[in-house]
Protein backbone atom coordinates (compact mmCIF):
# COMPACT_ATOMS: atom_id res chain seq x y z
CA UNK A 1 0.00 0.00 0.00
CA UNK A 2 2.60 2.50 -1.00
CA UNK A 3 0.24 4.53 -3.11
CA UNK A 4 -2.26 5.26 -0.36
CA UNK A 5 -0.81 8.64 0.58
CA UNK A 6 -0.83 10.16 -2.87
CA UNK A 7 -4.55 10.17 -3.67
CA UNK A 8 -5.33 11.59 -0.27
CA UNK A 9 -3.08 14.56 -0.93
CA UNK A 10 -4.51 15.02 -4.36
CA UNK A 11 -8.04 14.86 -3.04
CA UNK A 12 -7.34 17.42 -0.36
CA UNK A 13 -5.96 19.77 -2.95
CA UNK A 14 -8.92 19.38 -5.23
CA UNK A 15 -11.31 19.88 -2.35
CA UNK A 16 -9.60 23.08 -1.42
CA UNK A 17 -9.74 24.32 -4.96
CA UNK A 18 -13.34 23.47 -5.65
CA UNK A 19 -14.37 24.44 -2.14
CA UNK A 20 -13.10 27.94 -2.66
CA UNK A 21 -15.04 28.24 -5.90
CA UNK A 22 -18.34 27.06 -4.38
CA UNK A 23 -18.15 29.19 -1.25
CA UNK A 24 -17.66 32.46 -3.10
CA UNK A 25 -19.17 32.31 -6.56
CA UNK A 26 -18.11 35.22 -8.75
CA UNK A 27 -20.38 38.09 -9.64
CA UNK A 28 -20.74 36.56 -13.08
CA UNK A 29 -23.13 33.95 -11.68
CA UNK A 30 -25.55 36.56 -10.40
CA UNK A 31 -25.19 38.91 -13.34
CA UNK A 32 -28.04 37.66 -15.56
CA UNK A 33 -30.59 37.70 -12.75
CA UNK A 34 -29.34 41.03 -11.44
CA UNK A 35 -29.45 42.58 -14.87
CA UNK A 36 -32.95 41.27 -15.47
CA UNK A 37 -34.10 42.59 -12.10
CA UNK A 38 -32.52 45.99 -12.66
CA UNK A 39 -33.98 46.33 -16.12
CA UNK A 40 -37.51 45.16 -15.45
CA UNK A 41 -38.02 46.06 -11.80
CA UNK A 42 -35.67 48.74 -10.53
CA UNK A 43 -35.47 51.00 -13.58
CA UNK A 44 -39.24 51.17 -14.13
CA UNK A 45 -39.72 51.66 -10.41
CA UNK A 46 -37.37 54.63 -10.36
CA UNK A 47 -39.03 56.12 -13.43
CA UNK A 48 -42.46 55.69 -11.86
CA UNK A 49 -41.14 57.43 -8.74
CA UNK A 50 -39.97 60.31 -10.93
CA UNK A 51 -43.26 60.35 -12.78
CA UNK A 52 -45.22 60.62 -9.55
CA UNK A 53 -43.85 64.16 -9.22
CA UNK A 54 -45.08 65.19 -12.67
CA UNK A 55 -48.25 65.81 -14.59
CA UNK A 56 -48.43 63.71 -17.72
CA UNK A 57 -51.30 62.67 -19.99
CA UNK A 58 -49.24 60.17 -21.96
CA UNK A 59 -48.93 62.41 -25.03
CA UNK A 60 -46.42 65.23 -24.64
CA UNK A 61 -43.53 65.55 -22.19
CA UNK A 62 -44.18 65.17 -18.46
CA UNK A 63 -44.41 68.50 -16.59
CA UNK A 64 -42.82 68.78 -13.16
CA UNK A 65 -45.58 69.20 -10.57
CA UNK A 66 -43.77 68.98 -7.25
CA UNK A 67 -45.73 67.30 -4.50
CA UNK A 68 -49.14 67.98 -6.07
CA UNK A 69 -49.96 64.35 -6.83
CA UNK A 70 -48.94 63.26 -3.35
CA UNK A 71 -50.91 66.01 -1.64
CA UNK A 72 -53.97 65.06 -3.66
CA UNK A 73 -53.48 61.40 -2.79
CA UNK A 74 -53.36 62.00 0.96
CA UNK A 75 -56.71 63.80 0.84
CA UNK A 76 -58.24 61.32 -1.57
CA UNK A 77 -60.84 59.30 0.34
CA UNK A 78 -61.22 56.90 -2.59
CA UNK A 79 -57.54 55.95 -2.23
CA UNK A 80 -57.85 55.24 1.49
CA UNK A 81 -61.05 53.30 0.93
CA UNK A 82 -59.40 51.34 -1.87
CA UNK A 83 -56.63 50.17 0.47
CA UNK A 84 -59.18 48.86 2.95
CA UNK A 85 -61.09 47.17 0.16
CA UNK A 86 -57.91 45.46 -1.06
CA UNK A 87 -57.21 44.18 2.44
CA UNK A 88 -60.81 43.07 2.90
CA UNK A 89 -60.89 41.15 -0.38
CA UNK A 90 -57.54 39.54 0.46
CA UNK A 91 -58.62 38.48 3.95
CA UNK A 92 -61.96 37.16 2.72
CA UNK A 93 -60.13 35.27 -0.02
CA UNK A 94 -57.84 33.56 2.49
CA UNK A 95 -60.70 32.79 4.89
CA UNK A 96 -62.86 31.26 2.18
CA UNK A 97 -60.21 29.42 0.17
CA UNK A 98 -58.04 27.92 2.91
CA UNK A 99 -60.56 25.60 4.59
CA UNK A 100 -62.04 24.61 1.25
CA UNK A 101 -58.72 23.74 -0.32
CA UNK A 102 -57.41 21.89 2.76
CA UNK A 103 -60.51 19.69 2.90
CA UNK A 104 -60.53 19.10 -0.86
CA UNK A 105 -56.77 18.55 -0.93
CA UNK A 106 -56.77 16.00 1.89
CA UNK A 107 -59.72 14.23 0.31
CA UNK A 108 -58.07 14.20 -3.11
CA UNK A 109 -54.87 12.76 -1.64
CA UNK A 110 -56.71 9.55 -0.82
CA UNK A 111 -56.11 6.36 -2.77
CA UNK A 112 -59.37 5.60 -4.65
CA UNK A 113 -59.04 6.20 -8.36
CA UNK A 114 -62.29 8.17 -8.74
CA UNK A 115 -60.71 10.87 -6.59
CA UNK A 116 -57.90 11.31 -9.11
CA UNK A 117 -60.42 11.75 -11.90
CA UNK A 118 -62.57 14.18 -9.91
CA UNK A 119 -59.56 16.25 -8.86
CA UNK A 120 -58.51 16.49 -12.48
CA UNK A 121 -61.95 17.95 -13.23
CA UNK A 122 -61.73 20.35 -10.27
CA UNK A 123 -58.48 21.60 -11.71
CA UNK A 124 -60.11 22.95 -14.88
CA UNK A 125 -61.00 26.49 -13.63
CA UNK A 126 -57.31 27.17 -13.09
CA UNK A 127 -56.59 26.49 -16.74
CA UNK A 128 -59.00 29.21 -17.87
CA UNK A 129 -57.90 32.82 -18.06
CA UNK A 130 -59.23 35.15 -15.36
CA UNK A 131 -60.81 37.25 -18.10
CA UNK A 132 -62.75 34.32 -19.50
CA UNK A 133 -63.88 33.34 -16.02
CA UNK A 134 -65.03 36.87 -15.24
CA UNK A 135 -67.00 37.17 -18.45
CA UNK A 136 -68.54 33.76 -17.79
CA UNK A 137 -69.70 34.72 -14.29
CA UNK A 138 -70.88 38.14 -15.41
CA UNK A 139 -73.19 36.38 -17.84
CA UNK A 140 -74.25 33.71 -15.34
CA UNK A 141 -75.10 36.35 -12.75
CA UNK A 142 -77.05 38.63 -15.10
CA UNK A 143 -80.13 39.71 -13.13
CA UNK A 144 -82.58 39.25 -16.01
CA UNK A 145 -81.19 36.37 -18.02
CA UNK A 146 -78.82 34.57 -15.63
CA UNK A 147 -79.18 32.34 -12.59
CA UNK A 148 -80.64 35.10 -10.32
CA UNK A 149 -83.72 35.39 -12.55
CA UNK A 150 -84.46 31.70 -11.93
CA UNK A 151 -83.66 31.71 -8.21
CA UNK A 152 -85.42 34.78 -6.88
CA UNK A 153 -85.78 33.22 -3.41
CA UNK A 154 -82.01 33.40 -3.08
CA UNK A 155 -81.03 36.47 -5.07
CA UNK A 156 -84.06 38.76 -4.64
CA UNK A 157 -84.08 41.27 -7.48
CA UNK A 158 -80.66 40.02 -8.58
CA UNK A 159 -78.96 43.38 -8.16
CA UNK A 160 -75.67 41.70 -7.25
CA UNK A 161 -73.51 44.40 -8.83
CA UNK A 162 -75.57 47.25 -7.40
CA UNK A 163 -74.68 46.86 -3.72
CA UNK A 164 -71.28 46.93 -2.10
CA UNK A 165 -71.67 43.77 -0.01
CA UNK A 166 -72.99 41.61 -2.82
CA UNK A 167 -70.47 43.00 -5.31
CA UNK A 168 -67.60 42.14 -2.96
CA UNK A 169 -69.22 38.76 -2.37
CA UNK A 170 -69.21 38.09 -6.11
CA UNK A 171 -65.53 39.08 -6.38
CA UNK A 172 -64.53 36.80 -3.49
CA UNK A 173 -66.64 33.95 -4.85
CA UNK A 174 -65.24 34.16 -8.36
CA UNK A 175 -61.70 34.43 -6.96
CA UNK A 176 -62.29 31.34 -4.85
CA UNK A 177 -63.81 29.46 -7.77
CA UNK A 178 -60.74 30.16 -9.81
CA UNK A 179 -57.94 29.64 -7.28
CA UNK A 180 -59.21 26.98 -4.87
CA UNK A 181 -58.22 24.22 -7.34
CA UNK A 182 -54.65 25.46 -7.34
CA UNK A 183 -54.38 25.46 -3.55
CA UNK A 184 -56.15 22.11 -3.46
CA UNK A 185 -53.36 20.78 -5.64
CA UNK A 186 -50.72 22.11 -3.25
CA UNK A 187 -52.44 20.51 -0.25
CA UNK A 188 -52.94 17.27 -2.12
CA UNK A 189 -49.23 17.00 -2.79
CA UNK A 190 -48.31 17.95 0.77
CA UNK A 191 -50.74 15.45 2.24
CA UNK A 192 -49.32 12.65 0.11
CA UNK A 193 -45.86 13.53 1.44
CA UNK A 194 -46.87 12.92 5.06
CA UNK A 195 -45.12 9.69 6.17
CA UNK A 196 -47.73 6.89 6.41
CA UNK A 197 -46.04 5.57 9.58
CA UNK A 198 -47.64 8.42 11.49
CA UNK A 199 -51.13 7.25 10.57
CA UNK A 200 -50.23 3.62 11.22
CA UNK A 201 -48.98 4.51 14.69
CA UNK A 202 -52.09 6.60 15.37
CA UNK A 203 -54.35 3.78 14.31
CA UNK A 204 -52.61 1.43 16.73
CA UNK A 205 -53.16 4.03 19.42
CA UNK A 206 -56.85 4.02 18.53
CA UNK A 207 -57.16 7.47 16.95
CA UNK A 208 -60.17 7.86 14.62
CA UNK A 209 -60.29 9.63 11.29
CA UNK A 210 -61.14 13.05 12.72
CA UNK A 211 -58.54 12.80 15.46
CA UNK A 212 -55.96 11.80 12.83
CA UNK A 213 -56.89 14.81 10.71
CA UNK A 214 -56.49 17.31 13.52
CA UNK A 215 -53.49 15.73 15.23
CA UNK A 216 -51.43 14.56 12.28
CA UNK A 217 -52.59 15.99 8.93
CA UNK A 218 -53.10 19.60 9.98
CA UNK A 219 -49.84 19.99 11.95
CA UNK A 220 -47.95 18.31 9.14
CA UNK A 221 -49.45 20.79 6.63
CA UNK A 222 -48.28 23.81 8.62
CA UNK A 223 -45.52 24.87 6.25
CA UNK A 224 -47.74 24.22 3.25
CA UNK A 225 -50.42 26.43 4.75
CA UNK A 226 -47.95 29.28 5.03
CA UNK A 227 -46.84 28.86 1.42
CA UNK A 228 -50.40 28.72 0.21
CA UNK A 229 -51.48 31.72 2.29
CA UNK A 230 -48.60 33.84 1.04
CA UNK A 231 -49.70 33.03 -2.50
CA UNK A 232 -53.28 33.95 -1.57
CA UNK A 233 -52.21 37.26 -0.04
CA UNK A 234 -50.15 38.16 -3.09
CA UNK A 235 -52.99 37.11 -5.37
CA UNK A 236 -55.54 39.03 -3.31
CA UNK A 237 -53.58 42.26 -3.22
CA UNK A 238 -53.00 42.18 -6.97
CA UNK A 239 -56.58 41.30 -7.87
CA UNK A 240 -57.37 43.26 -10.96
CA UNK A 241 -58.91 41.45 -13.90
CA UNK A 242 -61.97 40.22 -12.02
CA UNK A 243 -62.70 43.76 -10.81
CA UNK A 244 -62.13 45.23 -14.26
CA UNK A 245 -64.62 42.92 -15.91
CA UNK A 246 -67.14 42.11 -13.18
CA UNK A 247 -67.68 45.42 -11.38
CA UNK A 248 -65.43 48.09 -12.92
CA UNK A 249 -64.94 49.34 -9.41
CA UNK A 250 -68.66 49.98 -9.04
CA UNK A 251 -71.28 50.63 -7.94
CA UNK A 252 -69.81 54.11 -7.66
CA UNK A 253 -66.43 53.45 -6.10
CA UNK A 254 -67.63 50.64 -3.83
CA UNK A 255 -65.30 47.97 -5.20
CA UNK A 256 -62.51 50.23 -6.43
CA UNK A 257 -59.54 48.36 -4.99
CA UNK A 258 -56.08 49.92 -5.14
CA UNK A 259 -54.79 48.10 -8.20
CA UNK A 260 -57.91 49.02 -10.15
CA UNK A 261 -57.81 52.61 -8.89
CA UNK A 262 -54.24 52.90 -10.16
CA UNK A 263 -55.34 51.66 -13.57
CA UNK A 264 -58.32 54.00 -13.57
CA UNK A 265 -56.23 57.08 -12.80
CA UNK A 266 -53.52 56.23 -15.30
CA UNK A 267 -55.33 54.65 -18.22
CA UNK A 268 -58.87 55.96 -17.97
CA UNK A 269 -58.36 59.48 -16.66
CA UNK A 270 -54.91 59.73 -18.31
CA UNK A 271 -53.37 61.11 -15.12
CA UNK A 272 -50.16 59.11 -15.22
CA UNK A 273 -48.62 61.20 -12.42
CA UNK A 274 -51.44 60.37 -10.01
CA UNK A 275 -51.47 56.74 -11.14
CA UNK A 276 -47.73 56.45 -10.50
CA UNK A 277 -48.14 57.82 -6.98
CA UNK A 278 -50.72 55.11 -6.25
CA UNK A 279 -48.40 52.51 -7.78
CA UNK A 280 -45.61 53.56 -5.43
CA UNK A 281 -47.90 53.37 -2.40
CA UNK A 282 -48.81 49.85 -3.48
CA UNK A 283 -45.14 48.88 -3.80
CA UNK A 284 -44.42 50.13 -0.28
CA UNK A 285 -47.43 48.42 1.25
CA UNK A 286 -46.81 45.11 -0.55
CA UNK A 287 -43.19 45.16 0.64
CA UNK A 288 -44.23 45.79 4.24
CA UNK A 289 -46.83 43.04 4.15
CA UNK A 290 -44.45 40.48 2.69
CA UNK A 291 -41.82 41.36 5.32
CA UNK A 292 -44.40 40.91 8.08
CA UNK A 293 -45.56 37.59 6.65
CA UNK A 294 -41.99 36.30 6.42
CA UNK A 295 -41.23 37.44 9.98
CA UNK A 296 -44.42 36.15 11.60
CA UNK A 297 -44.49 32.83 9.81
CA UNK A 298 -40.83 32.12 10.47
CA UNK A 299 -40.55 31.45 6.75
CA UNK A 300 -36.95 32.67 6.85
CA UNK A 301 -35.90 29.99 9.36
CA UNK A 302 -38.41 27.35 8.50
CA UNK A 303 -38.23 24.21 10.61
CA UNK A 304 -38.87 20.83 9.05
CA UNK A 305 -42.24 19.30 9.84
CA UNK A 306 -40.73 15.84 9.92
CA UNK A 307 -38.33 16.63 12.73
CA UNK A 308 -37.67 13.68 14.99
CA UNK A 309 -38.85 11.09 12.48
Partner 1 sequence: MKKRWLPRAVAGSVVLTLGLTLAACGGSSSGSSSSGSFKVLVYGDASNKVEKQIIDTFNKTSKVKAVLQTIPGADYQQKLQTIINTKQAPDVFFNWGGGSIAPFVKAGLLLPLDDMVAKDPGLKSNFLPSVFNSAVVDGKAYGVPMRGTQPVLLFNNKKVLSDAGLTEPKTWDDLLNAVKVLKAKHITPIALGGGDQWPTLMWYEYMYDRIAGPGLFEKAMGGDKSAWDSADSRAALAKLKELIDAGAFGSNYDSVKYTDGGSVALVAQGKAGFELMGSWYYSQQQQDNPDFAKAGLGYSSFPTVSGGKGDATDIVGNTNNFYSVLKKTKYPDAVAQFLKLQYSDEFVKAQMAIGNLPTTTNTVNFLSTAAIPDYSKFQYDLVKAAPSFQLSWDQAYPQTASEAMHTAVQQFFDGKLDADGFIKAMQALPTS
H/E stretch holding 54 reads strand 54-55
- Residue 89 binds partner 1, judged by CB under 8 A: no
Q: Which of 19, 195, 252, 298 binds partner 1 (CB under 8 A)?
A: 252
Q: What is the residue-wise DSSP string for 134-194? A: HHHHHHHT-TTTSHHHH-HHHHTT--GGGSHHHHHHHHHHHHHHHHHHHHHHHHHHHHHTS
- Residue 142 binds partner 1, judged by CB under 8 A: yes
Of the candidate spans 9-17, 59-67, 198-206, 215-223, the one that interacts with partner 1 by CB under 8 A turns out to be 59-67
- Residue 272 binds partner 1, judged by CB under 8 A: yes
Q: Which of 92, 266, 277, 281 binds partner 1 (CB under 8 A)?
A: 266
- Residue 241 binds partner 1, judged by CB under 8 A: yes
CA dist 297 and 222 (Å) reads: 10
Distances (CA, A) of 167 to 102, 157, 161, 245, 247: 26, 14, 5, 12, 7
Nearest to 96 by CA among 173, 160, 189: 173
- Residue 137 binds partner 1, judged by CB under 8 A: no
CA dist 1 and 12 (Å) reads: 19
CA dist 240 and 130 (Å) reads: 9
- Residue 264 binds partner 1, judged by CB under 8 A: yes
- Residue 287 binds partner 1, judged by CB under 8 A: no
H/E stretch holding 218 reads helix 218-220
Residue 126 Cβ vs partner 1, minimum distance, rounded to whole Å: 16
Distances (CA, A) of 144 to 153, 228, 242: 14, 38, 21
Residue number, 31 or 39, with CB nearest to partner 1 = 39
Distances (CA, A) of 91 to 48, 95, 188, 258: 28, 6, 23, 15
**Site size with partner 1, rule: CB under 8 A:** 53
- Residue 69 binds partner 1, judged by CB under 8 A: no
- Residue 60 binds partner 1, judged by CB under 8 A: yes
Residue number, 30 or 39, with CB nearest to partner 1 = 39
Report helix, strand or coil for 68: helix
Cα angle, residue 175 at apex, residues 239 and 84 outer, rounded to 5°: 45
- Residue 59 binds partner 1, judged by CB under 8 A: yes
Residue number, 145 or 214, with CB nearest to partner 1 = 145
Residue 293 Cβ vs partner 1, minimum distance, rounded to whole Å: 19
- Residue 275 binds partner 1, judged by CB under 8 A: yes
Query: Would you give the end-to-end CA distance of the chain in angstroms?
Result: 42
Q: Which of 186, 263, 277, 281 binds partner 1 (CB under 8 A)?
A: 263
Q: Which of 34, 57, 193, 211 binds partner 1 (CB under 8 A)?
A: 57
Residues that bind partner 1 (CB under 8 A): 40, 43-45, 47-48, 50-51, 56-62, 129-131, 138-139, 141-145, 157-162, 238, 240-241, 248, 250-253, 259, 262-264, 266-272, 275-276, 279
Amino acid sequence: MTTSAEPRVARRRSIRRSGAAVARPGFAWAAPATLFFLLFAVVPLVLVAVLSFTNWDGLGSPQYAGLDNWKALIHDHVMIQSLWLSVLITVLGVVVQTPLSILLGVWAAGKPRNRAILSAIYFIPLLLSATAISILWRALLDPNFGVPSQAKWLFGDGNLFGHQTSAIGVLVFVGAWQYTPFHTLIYQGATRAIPPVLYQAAEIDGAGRIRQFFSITLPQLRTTMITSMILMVVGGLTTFDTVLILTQGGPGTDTTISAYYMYQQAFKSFDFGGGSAIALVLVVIATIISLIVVKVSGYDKMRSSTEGL
